[in-house]
Amino acid sequence: MKVYLDNGATTRLDPRVLAKMRPYLTEKYGNASAINYLGQAAYLDLMEAKKRVAKLLGGEPAGVIFTSGATEANNLIIKGVALANQAKRKKIIISNIEHPCVRESANELARAGFQVEFVPANSEGLVTPEALRKIIDKETILVSVMAVNNEIGTINDIAALAKIAHQYGAYFHTDAAQAIPYLKIDIKKMGIDLLSLSGHKFYGPKGVGVAYIKKGIKVKPLMVGGGQENNLRSGTYNLPGIMGLTFALELAYKERAAYLKRVKALRDYFWQRINQEISGLKINGSMTKRIPANLNVQFTSIEGEAILMDLSHKGICVSTGSACSAANLQASHVLTAIGLSKNLLNSNIRFSFGRFNTKAEINYTIKALKETVKRLRSFSPIK
Ligand SMILES: Cc1ncc(COP(=O)(O)O)c(C=O)c1O
């Protein structure tokens, strides 16, 4: 059996989304910047897509900038806002559990002379308003805190954090790449000024994302050239991707309640069984303020990598921490931030459940995992 429990790394394209994308790869292939009839048809669809995305997110169509994904959106927003507003202020705040594309963007700014400060997450993996209040001041240009953490699935109180940023005259950005379809993001209600999304995290295509930029915020572009996206992001519009992302986002909002119920039932069943049938397990991060698709489990006395490889040989895909850092064998900065001791930092597996998982797959995984853990523990030098 093949089981995919790595939906936090990426999701399978929903066949309904593929069907909506196909015409844009075949008949409707015009360049949305061209003034011939195919180009103009593409342009109209692009404008429609912006309206549809803005409506779902509770923002304005003009704020929707399509990018190649959340990495690009985060780079554009963090660096672009800092560079365009540096005459006034010099301080940037990000949390210490951000995705590397946010952290490295901030590190680049630090090397360029900006003051970068890290708001720490607590032991539950949450960034609290109190922690932000301790380090924010009137020098702060931008506060960036992720809506949902990619490794442990914890959910931050974005509205409360945004409110504090605004009290100090700073902009608030959230990397919401892991938030859809789990949270009902509403830009206006939550007080979000800037937001990043990625299509492939919610059953849409890879290589397309959104940088939402509220009207009036100055941003220095990363990409210059043809002047697309109101000069904020040059490059030919990826219309198949954009139409796919838009439809995938609509499905996520429309089917949200049933989806959440389904993944929660699978995850809770999985956890209840493995916790009963395998000794020495613990969950990393808050279990209440957490998306229902994520389970990050500590396995005492075994290396996470060994579990991952063993399960992979049995046809099961999981990950240790985030897939994005799999090539880099450093201990997870998220697990370090929430205070795991050194000997526990490499004993974790992230199981992330999704739309296409079945109960039969979960039962197969439980059986395989029990065998894997038993075998690995039998010759583990760590007791
Ligand atoms: C929280 C978070 N931000 C950003 C990204 C990067 O997104 P993309 O793959 O669209 O560049 C990811 C992907 O893993 C993520 O989980």
What CATH number matches the domain at 15-254, 3.40.640.10, 3.30.540.10, 3.50.50.60, 3.40.50.2300? 3.40.640.10
Give CATH 3.90.1150.10 domain extents, the chain.
Answer: 3-11+257-378
Residue 324 annotated among the catalytic residues of the structure: yes
| Ligand 1 atom with least separation from CA of 69 | 10
Q: Which regions of the chain are under pLDDT 70?
A: 321-329, 382-383
pLDDT at position 344, please? 84
pLDDT at position 328, please? 57
Instruction: Round to whole Å and give the CA distance between 139 and 115.
Output: 9
Beta carbons within 10 angstroms of residue 5's beta carbon: 26
The span from the first CA to the last CA of the chain, in angstroms, equals 32
Report if pTM > 0.75.
yes
294-299 and 281-283: which strand pairing? antiparallel
Q: Separation of 103 CA from ligand 1 center, angstroms?
A: 12
Instruction: Round to whole Å and give the CA distance between 112 and 176.
Output: 26
Q: Separation of 70 CA from ligand 1 center, angstroms?
A: 5
Q: Domain 3-11+257-378: which topology? A: Aspartate Aminotransferase, domain 1 (3.90.1150)
**Ligand 1, atom 11: nearest CA belongs to which residue?**
71
Beta carbons within 10 angstroms of residue 226's beta carbon: 14
Beta carbons within 10 angstroms of residue 368's beta carbon: 18
| Ligand 1 atom with least separation from CA of 324 | 14
Q: Separation of 258 CA from ligand 1 center, angstroms?
A: 25
pLDDT at position 376, please? 95
Catalytic residue among 38, 41, 265, 324: 324
pLDDT at position 309, please? 96
With the most atoms of ligand 1 within 8 angstroms of its CB, the residue from 68, 71, 95 to mutate is 71
Give CATH 3.40.640.10 domain extents, the chain.
Answer: 15-254
